[in-house]
């Protein structure tokens, strides 16, 4: 009897172990999806759970800066640290949910153009956003960022956030608004572009899925950040956020630092737009909207699967096509153990 009980005991233990192992194996075999992927679409490929899928949004233009919209998967190659990778997903991207943070510089050199800037921004929001699907936040910054409207799909709240920025610095026609000393104190506070980008990425965008974009309205002169440009770009890459800039400033002062804005935007896959004058703002916003709509998405599973937190450089190439330019983020940071 004792021997029989012991036999039954060890058989039970063995059975429990087999059930646990079977359950773990089933969990590991579940597929992981590309962001923006429709589970009902059988053409979309999936990969094993536990691997890191790298998603790359990119746009393609020719020498005349015209967008190229007829690339096929067979014409594209992607390299990570110089090594070719297998592309799992390739498609034109029109409908990926958008999370957008609009950062408005309110330093002295930008304040004079705030009314025109915020009006054009509101029209841009109406044109780009899809209510109920996309979300946008409004942030003003000088020496430090201040959230005027947190992420929302509500258009009325976004327009109010823009109007509130103007109301804080520009008196209304009837003379109401903050007294001059307050406006001056707030305006003199300096310009912390890098700090504001980092705060937006770490506090607002890093944990969000889908397409993430920062729209930066500034003259490009950072005077008070405690961090460097390279640190701001790194945080944007970690958050997988693309930075675009519209360069605005007072022509009577320093104007716009176009070179600096390019150095902020280009490593993330974005670009800077510099209006010729304040009346040219709508054209700049139109180019920005077009750039955001003319994108491709590819995804690949890195051959280097080490979870070492290292930076991996990405290069997307168009095969057998000459004289074209591809804009995409320069790389990503691998997951850590």
* Residue 254 clears pLDDT 90, i.e. is over it: no
Which of 81, 128, 64 lies closest to 102, judged by CA? 128
* Residue 177 clears pLDDT 60, i.e. is over it: no
CA distances from 11 to 4, 6, 16 (A): 11, 9, 9
284-329 pLDDT tens trace: 888 898 888 889 999 999 999 898 999 999 999 999 888 899 999 9
Residue 100's pLDDT band (boundaries 50, 70, 90)?
A: very high
Tokens of 290: 């077009």
Tokens of 194: 């890098």
Q: Which residue has the higher pLDDT, 130 or 184?
A: 130
| Residues 207-218, mean pLDDT to the nearest whole number | 92
CA atoms of 191 and 108, how far apart (whole Å): 9
Nearest-5° angle of CA 32, CA 38, CA 40? 100
Which residues have a Cβ under 8 Å from the Cβ of 29 and sit 6 or more positions away? 48, 49
CA atoms of 93 and 86, how far apart (whole Å): 19
Torsion angle of the four alpha carbons 150, 155, 161, 164, in this order, in degrees rounded to the nearest 10: -160
Q: Which residue has the higher pLDDT, 37 or 158?
A: 158
Alpha carbons within 13 A on the beta-carbon side of 113: 26
* Residue 35 clears pLDDT 60, i.e. is over it: no
37-70 pLDDT tens trace: 444 443 333 333 345 789 999 999 998 889 998 9
Which residues have a Cβ under 8 Å from the Cβ of 181 and sit 6 or more positions away? none
Cβ pair 113, 103 in contact under 8 A: no
Cβ pair 79, 155 in contact under 8 A: no
Q: How far is CA 73 from the centre of its chain?
A: 24
CA atoms of 87 and 99, how far apart (whole Å): 25
CA atoms of 170 and 108, how far apart (whole Å): 12
Tokens of 97: 């949910």
Q: How many residues does the chain have?
A: 337
Which of 121, 102, 168 lies closest to 275, judged by CA? 121
Which of 175, 174, 162 lies closest to 217, judged by CA? 162
């Amino acid at each position: 009897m004792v021997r029989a009980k012991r036999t039954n005991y060890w058989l039970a233990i063995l059975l429990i172990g087999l059930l646990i192992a079977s359950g773990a194996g089933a969990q590991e075999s579940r597929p992981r999806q590309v962001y923006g992927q429709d589970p009902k679409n059988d053409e979309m490929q999936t990969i094993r759970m536990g691997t890191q899928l790298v998603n790359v949004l990119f746009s393609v233009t020719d020498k005349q800066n015209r967008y190229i919209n007829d690339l096929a998967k067979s014409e594209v190659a992607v390299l990570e640290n110089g090594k070719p990778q297998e592309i799992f997903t390739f498609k034109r991207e029109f409908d990926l949910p958008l999370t957008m943070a609009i950062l408005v510089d309110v330093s002295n050199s930008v304040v004079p153009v705030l009314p025109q800037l915020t009006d054009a921004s509101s029209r841009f929001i109406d044109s780009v956003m899809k209510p109920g699907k996309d979300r946008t936040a409004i942030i003003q910054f000088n020496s430090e960022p201040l959230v005027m409207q947190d992420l929302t799909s509500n258009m009325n709240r976004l327009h109010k956030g823009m109007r509130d920025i103007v109301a804080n610095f520009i008196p209304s026609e009837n003379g109401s608004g903050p007294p001059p000393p307050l406006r001056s104190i707030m305006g003199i506070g300096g310009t912390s572009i890098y700090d504001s980008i980092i705060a937006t990425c770490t506090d607002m965008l890093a944990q969000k899925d889908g397409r993430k974009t920062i729209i930066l309205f500034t003259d490009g002169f950072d005077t008070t950040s405690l961090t460097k440009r390279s640190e701001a770009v790194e945080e944007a890459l970690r958050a997988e956020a693309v930075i675009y800039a519209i360069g605005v400033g007072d022509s009577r002062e320093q104007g716009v630092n176009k070179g600096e804005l390019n150095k902020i935007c280009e490593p993330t896959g974005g670009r800077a737009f510099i209006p010729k004058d304040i009346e040219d703002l709508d054209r700049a916003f139109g180019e920005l909207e077009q750039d955001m709509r003319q994108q491709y998405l590819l995804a690949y599973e890195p051959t280097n699967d080490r979870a070492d937190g290292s930076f991996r450089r990405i290069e997307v190439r168009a095969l057998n096509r000459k004289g074209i330019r591809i804009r995409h983020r320069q790389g990503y940071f691998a997951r850590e153990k």
